[in-house]
Amino acid sequence: MKILTINPGSTSTKVALFENNSGVPEPVFQKNVSHDAKDLAAYKTVSDQLPYRKEAILAAMRENRVALDYIDAVVGRGGGLFPMEGGTYGINAVMLEHAQKGANGIQHPAQLGPQLAHAFAEECGAMAFVVNPPDVDEIQDVARMTGLKGVYRMVHLHALNLKETAIRHAESMGRNYEDCNFVVCHIGGGISVSAHQHGRMIDGYDIAGGEGPMTPTRSGSVSVANLLNYMQGKDPESVRSVSTKSGGFVSHLGTSDALEVIRRAESGDRYAAMVWESMIYQICKCIGSMAAVLGGQVDGILLGGGMVHSEDLVKKIRQQCEWIAPVTAYPGEFEMEAMASGAIRVMTGREKVKEYTGKPVWTGFDFAS
């Protein structure tokens, strides 16, 4: 069983080919295909890049003598879709339409994932899937309410890594994900903190909306009063940028490189040290809140993402949070493996493939009308 996975990013597309080895995806080929920013700028929309990116992927595969023969499934990173339950979805016409136009209003290269997967699957006669896209929304009703009538919470998280980390950890315990409660964090350029109860991600911080801890590039949660003061004389787009692109480390220290921040802190830069410590402090606060969401019934606190390579970060989170539950580190990202694993679970009958209907999983409270 061979699975091709495709993960489009802002200036590159990650491609990997896996073989199924007793339910575990074993990499046969991996490549980060770079794209010139000037070439991408020539396209009006993200979806217009489809032929360019497809040809770049094909060229990389030809260069490395990777054939499209005998591929059983192609999995694309999801994006541009309406909120849905977690799981593995077959790519259908509705999903393709929504990905093409960015139906959820967020333009991101990930929306090329379903389109590229479908294009390659048609070419090699394979099945096409999307696994736990960022649009996964399983939060419980009580978590949706805010203090403003008509304003309700939706979440955007690193669902693919979060759920895969939880699935793997449950298996390491000899249990099923659906039988466990976890607080799961993805700590990288963006930071997601989420509560998982019996196989559902019932709450988390909306990182696309500015919630949660500060990150290398995001401001994190800021009080409305402080934000209004900050906005004086600034246009809305520049303020939106600090929420997702130019906040956090970038705003304070002019860099998004966590290693540089750590080096500066260790060399005596008190500002860098305070920013680093504050980010970890905020992560710990968020972990505590998700533990409360789970009623203190937590089987483990799981840390994934690039910054988890930092021993200092893991040590400090353990010191603050291990009284809640054991803290386990899974450094780095395994999005490609996670996509392949989702396809394997469906193709081996461990999970049922889901259908994307295009209808959001939540459209409002019936009493609110």
Instruction: Look at residue 108 and tell me whether its pLDDT is greater than 90.
Output: no
When pLDDT is cut at 50, 70 and 90, the band that residue 143 belongs to is very high
Instruction: Look at residue 165 and tell me whether its pLDDT is greater than 70.
Output: yes
Tell me what pLDDT residue 333 has.
84
Q: Which pTM value belongs to this model?
A: 0.92
| Domain 159-333 in the same topology as domain 2-133+336-368 | yes
Q: How far apart are CA 7 and CA 15, in angstroms?
A: 6
Pick the CATH number of 2-133+336-368 from 3.30.420.40, 3.40.50.300, 3.30.930.10, 1.10.4080.10: 3.30.420.40
When pLDDT is cut at 50, 70 and 90, the band that residue 25 belongs to is very high
Point out the least confidently predicted range of 89-98, 131-140, 360-369: 360-369
Q: What is the mean pLDDT of residues 340-369?
A: 93
Q: Over the chain, what is the mean pLDDT?
A: 94
- The residue behind tokens 């696309």 is 208
Q: Measure CA 258 to chain center.
A: 19
Nearest to 358 by CA among 89, 76, 153: 89
Q: Which residues contact 271 (CB under 8 A, 6 or more apart)?
A: 252, 253
Token couple for 362: 């939540």
Tell me what pLDDT residue 238 has.
85
Provide the edge-to-edge strand list for the sheet that holds 354-355: 24-34, 12-21, 2-8, 73-76, 127-131, 88-90, 354-355
When pLDDT is cut at 50, 70 and 90, the band that residue 23 belongs to is confident
Tell me what pLDDT residue 319 has.
98
DSSP assignment of 191-260 equals: EEEEEEETTEEEEE--GGGT-SS--SS------HHHHHHHHTT--HHHHHHHHHTS-THHHHHS---HHH
Model pLDDT for residues 179-207, shown as the tens digit of each residue: 999 999 999 989 999 999 999 999 999 98
Tell me what pLDDT residue 211 has.
94
Tell me what pLDDT residue 369 has.
65
Residue spans of the domains in the chain: they are: 2-133+336-368, 159-333
Q: Which fold has domain 159-333?
A: Nucleotidyltransferase; domain 5 (3.30.420)
Neighbours of 346 (CB within 10 A): 22
Model pLDDT for residues 212-249, shown as the tens digit of each residue: 999 999 999 999 999 999 999 999 888 888 888 899 99
Beta-strand relationship, 181-187 and 300-305? parallel
| In the chain, % of residues over pLDDT 90 | 86
Neighbours of 179 (CB within 10 A): 11
